[in-house]
């Protein structure tokens, strides 16, 4: 057996604290000396060193824990600050998105308004350009009316020399004038047999006719003319009275006048005078 020796030790700090809490005046207590071996002594020393090391580590951990708690509080404050900034940024972003959406809608509306305005301006310019030629067109219409009167007079003068050639020449000129008007979007209105419409017709006389519907156009004294749907001159007509009321009908859009159906006063838009008529016109000139 190893050589035995006596060994004494003190209570640790926790034991001292317990002793203080118990009110004892003794802070350090020495144990009874007992003989112990060197191996046990070494193990006791090692255990005491381990206990002291653990105690120091515990103190360090406690200190680190306090520091960690302080850092956690700082981090929590920073997180709260970041959260507040995030909410402000979200509010600001939502406000900017709302402004951008409103601006986009306003831009789309402005673009549509501009497109509508451009269409309106183009339409007005086109209409004004056509109406700007109104005086010229009205002069041609008056000339056409004079040709029609002349043709009616020539038809009555059958005994005149070269009657047929003169009549053919006048009719050829009349057709040329009508074709020129139609090529420039001028439409002739001959509403014989239609119901009177004050927008397109001008009644100059009324005749009693019980066989026709009330306000039926019996005769056209002067044909009307339209330029791109706008009335240049209403047709001067004689209207019936005393007849039955006309049946109610839906208004037909784009109804053709009698001229477009083959009247002698309204050749088709693409119809040109024949060669014989042109030769007669040259002879007449």
Nearest residue to 232 via CA among 124, 138, 129, 142? 138
pLDDT band at 65 (very low <50, low <70, confident <90, very high): confident
Contact present, 129 and 244 (Cβ < 8 Å): no
Q: What is the pLDDT of residue 21?
A: 47
Distances (CA, A) of 138 to 14, 202, 227: 126, 17, 11
- What percentage of the chain exceeds 70 in pLDDT? 74
Q: What is the pLDDT of residue 32?
A: 54
228-253: per-residue pLDDT in tens? 788 888 999 999 988 888 887 655 55
Q: What is the pLDDT of residue 250?
A: 59
Domains, the chain, in order of start with CATH, read 5-77 (no CATH), 134-284 (2.30.22.10)
- Helical axes 134-156 vs 38-132, angle rounded to 10°: 40
Distances (CA, A) of 38 to 6, 12, 35, 96: 10, 22, 10, 83
66-106: per-residue pLDDT in tens? 888 888 888 888 899 999 999 999 999 999 999 999 999 99
pLDDT band at 33 (very low <50, low <70, confident <90, very high): low
Q: What is the pLDDT of residue 278?
A: 43
pTM: 0.42
Mean pLDDT of 19-42: 58
pLDDT band at 270 (very low <50, low <70, confident <90, very high): very low
- For the chain, what is the mean pLDDT? 76
Q: Which residue has the higher pLDDT, 39 or 279?
A: 39
Distances (CA, A) of 255 to 160, 175, 202, 232, 240: 41, 22, 18, 18, 21
168-222: per-residue pLDDT in tens? 888 888 888 888 888 888 888 889 889 999 989 999 999 888 888 888 999 988 8
Q: Name the pairing type of β-strands 201-208 and 235-241.
A: parallel
124-157: per-residue pLDDT in tens? 887 777 667 777 888 888 888 888 888 888 888 7
Distances (CA, A) of 164 to 155, 247, 278: 9, 45, 13
Q: What is the pLDDT of residue 239?
A: 92
Distances (CA, A) of 136 to 17, 131, 226: 126, 10, 14
């Amino acid at each position: 057996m190893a050589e035995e020796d006596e060994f004494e030790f003190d209570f640790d700090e926790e034991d001292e604290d317990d002793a203080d809490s118990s009110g004892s005046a003794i802070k350090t207590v020495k144990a009874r000396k007992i003989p112990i071996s060197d191996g046990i002594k070494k193990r006791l020393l090692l255990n005491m060193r381990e206990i002291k090391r653990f105690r120091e580590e515990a103190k360090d951990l406690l200190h680190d824990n306090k520091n960690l708690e302080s850092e956690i509080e700082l981090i929590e404050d920073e997180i709260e600050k970041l959260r507040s900034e995030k909410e402000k940024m979200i509010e600001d972003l939502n406000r900017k998105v709302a402004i951008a959406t409103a601006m986009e809608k306003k831009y789309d509306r402005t673009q549509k308004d501009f497109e509508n305005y451009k269409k309106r301006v183009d339409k007005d310019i086109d209409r004004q350009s056509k109406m700007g030629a109104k005086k010229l067109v009205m002069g041609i219409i008056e000339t056409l009316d004079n040709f029609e009167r002349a043709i009616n007079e020539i038809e009555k003068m059958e005994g005149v020399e070269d009657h047929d050639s003169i009549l053919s020449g006048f009719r050829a000129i009349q057709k040329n004038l009508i074709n020129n008007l139609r090529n420039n979007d001028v439409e002739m209105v001959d509403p014989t047999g239609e119901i009177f419409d004050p927008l397109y017709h001008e009644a100059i006389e009324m005749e009693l006719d019980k066989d026709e519907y009330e306000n039926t156009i019996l005769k056209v004294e002067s044909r009307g003319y339209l330029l791109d749907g706008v009335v240049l001159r209403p047709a001067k007509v004689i209207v019936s009275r005393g007849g039955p009321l006309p049946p109610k009908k839906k208004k037909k859009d784009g109804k053709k006048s009698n001229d477009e159906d083959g009247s002698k006063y309204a050749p088709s838009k693409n119809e040109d005078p024949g060669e014989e008529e042109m030769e007669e016109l040259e002879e007449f000139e």
